[in-house]
Structure 1
Amino acid sequence: MPSRRVVTGRSQEPRRRFAEELRLLRGARGESLRQVGERLGWDPSTFGKMESGESLGSPEIVEALDQHYGTPGLLLTLRELALADPSQFREQYRRYMVLEAEAVSLWHFGVSTVHGLLQTPGYAREVLTVGGLKDKELNQQVEARTGRQKLLVDEDAPPFRSILSEAVLRTPLRDAQEWREQLEFLLDVSERPNIALQVLPQSAGLYGLVSTDLMFLRLLDGTTVAYAESAHRGELIEENVSVERLRRAYDLMRDLALSPVESRKFILRMLEEVPCEPSI
């Protein structure tokens, strides 16, 4: 195995360190991107994007690179660190991201969009594009957002409840196939024992959180914080009285939502309305 290099100030940021390690390992072998692509069976541009920091690649590709360079587990570990690094998110979200990773349970309400923890790459890309991201930054944010889903599938994954307004499920993506994949993904995750997914029907009428996307995080010390988000800004709420007021509103709204079983049936009906791709 190649000797370990000292982590320099330039490479302390996990995503940059991952890309740097790939470049150094390939340089030590004297290989071109094309040669790596030919030997491993992937498009050379895929490795180019990884070495530039634009992409972290899939676990399968990174595992193949570990085998190719004789660094078992090293690159996979660096990829995991890059995915978990809060610094890849915009400043206003960074403290929230740290707390989200530490939470022992999570409760969410979505009035406008599916939460990032439940988004497919296609859904995340369209939401972030509408928000003004593009090119390299867009690709990085899509990867960072979907990478957070590891939080919900680990062996010790925390319980997560997500209540989605019916409006969320009636606002499709422009690409029908991407929308179908998002609905199918919601059905899949709703079967996990730690995830409860509920739909708040329009027939419930007005409710206390009518204009607020909200997440509650219960932390190890027993305290609960809330994160409220609009289209233009997010706010981390830690003051006990304010959090408790929001929790009461959430509990009242949860009583109006469909049960998890009825919610699955509702999503299935939405899925039936999505146009199928024409057969070839």
Structure 2
Amino acid sequence: MSRLIPVVILLFLAVIVADSSLYVVKETERAVKLRFGRLIDTEITPGLHVKMPLADDVRKFDARVMTLDAQPESFLTVQKKRLIVDSFAKWRIADVDTYYKATGGNEAQAMNRLAKRVNDGLRNEFGTRTLNEVVSGERDLLMKDIKDGLNERVKESLGVEVVDVRVKRIDLPPEVSDAVFRRMQAEREKEARELRSKGLEEAEKIRSSAEREKTIIEATAYSESELLRGEGDAQAAATYASAYSKDPEFYAFVRSLNAYRSSFKDKGDIMLVDPQSDFFKYLNDSKAGR
């Protein structure tokens, strides 16, 4: 048992030495080595490495693409129109040596300094473009110019690479938004009134056209009916004339009967007529005309 104690102690010391002299750098990490606070190695590849215990210190940084979500800022366009821009940027460490020297490996400090440069880039690009260009016309070109301009500066000063810059939202200031909304509302109301007036005008045209067609159809129908009625009356008259011409005396007799029937249908009617007149021709003499 007493022989195992030195072995255990040696193993324990070996573990401590190994833990303080070995370190691992992952594929998703970048690292620098310092010896007594002085930077001695910045090109550390992923894998298992050795360092001097107590003398060396290894600082590791996330090498993946990270997101900088900037606070909305106010920018002016070339037309001096103020916009509230909400943006974000994607970035990663490109030169770990420069990154460590510029920020001390402090990610928050790197974010703050990068955010300032992103805002400066946006301000410069917005200041050379109109409202339409930054909102819709040249959005992709605007983002590319900002990214290229940032990379020219931040790679040398911060040791980082800007992968992408995007604008999430562009708003007008509240005091301007209300005025724009009112103007848009007035324009839409004006457009609605114009459409209504055009609709009423078209309705009147359709209504007057229908009335005109109705009048023409009724006039044509009346003309045709009168023509048919005239032809019928003429045909009837011709038929009557043809029939009565065969026996004129019988025709006169029938007419007299019709006249008697019409005159004496109401008992209260009074007529003052000469008894010898032609009206009573067939009443006075049933053989009249024979």
- TM class by shorter chain equals under 0.3
Q: Report which structure shows greater RCO (CA 8 Å, sep ≥6).
A: 1
- Highest Rg: 1 or 2? 2
**TM-score normalised by L of structure 1:** 0.20
**TM-score normalised by L of structure 2:** 0.20
